[in-house]
Chain A
Amino acid sequence: MKQTLSSNYILLLILTVVAALVAFNVTQNIMVKTVVGLAILKFWLVAFQFMELKKAHPFWKFLIILFGIIFGLIIMIIL
């Protein structure tokens, strides 16, 4: 459990750095999809691991997954 939190934290930091690097080094279309995808992945990691949503009823898990998918898709379609 202790290791799960630490490894998730390190993963979150790596994803943040990767998103920043991608934002400056690839074409607009790929950049939007990658950066939004990474943001949603980080969003889920924080919700499930740090907020312990992984222990909650499936209803609450479903809502956070649905929110991430809808938000990510709308941003990708618009941009």
Chain B
Amino acid sequence: MELKEKSIYYPPGGILIWIIIYLELITFGMAIIALAYYGSEERDLFHNNSLKLNKTIGTINTILLLTSGFFVAKGIQYFKVQHIKKTLLFFNWAIVGGFGFLVLKSIEYYEKLKVGLTMDYNSFFTFYWLLTGFHLIHVIVGLVLLIVISFSIRKKQIEASFEDIEASASFWHMCDLIWLLLFPVLYLLF
């Protein structure tokens, strides 16, 4: 497996998931750069509106995603040595972390909607809703993948190959990567 991973055609999880990961990173990267550019054009507006964001929830969500990613990495490590019980335990904790992220994001969205900070409030909140909204969709898809592979491992279904499981884990880590770039620019830099 080590030798296969050293091939350019077999990055961990397979070449297709890595093509998707790089495309997603480029897309989100360009959108975050656009946010930074418009923020530099309207510094006061972006600064005043960034103060309306809940930085505590943002920081806790970062920790939740990192923790969840750590559990997935541990799960993969145990799956490689066929320690199924521990694999499932770590995947389940990762899923709990993902749901924690969704709950906190829902609270944050509710707070914004309650005081009328909708997408058309101003350009800062247009970026806020679009970027965090698209990221949230990725987190939901990642959670569905984690639940499906956990179910598949539990049922000992042979259709789920190691590469499928590693690809799903890579998708989950991608949500982490995007958030690590999005969070500081949106919540901290203005």
Contacts and interface: CB of A to CB of B under 8 A. Distances in A.
A55 B6 contact: yes
Secondary structure at the B interface, as helix, strand, loop or mixed, is: helix
Contacts of B159: none
A50 B69 contact: yes
A23 B70 contact: no
The size bracket of the interface on A is 35 or more
Contacts of A75: 32-33, 36, 185, 189
Given A16-B66, A56-B12, A51 B22 contact: no
A57 B33 CA distance: 28
Secondary structure at the A interface, as helix, strand, loop or mixed, is: helix
The size bracket of the interface on B is 35 or more
A20 B55 contact: yes
Interface of A: 1-2, 5-6, 8-9, 12-13, 16, 19-20, 23, 31-32, 35-36, 38-39, 42-43, 46-47, 49-53, 55-57, 59-60, 63, 67, 71, 74-75, 78-79
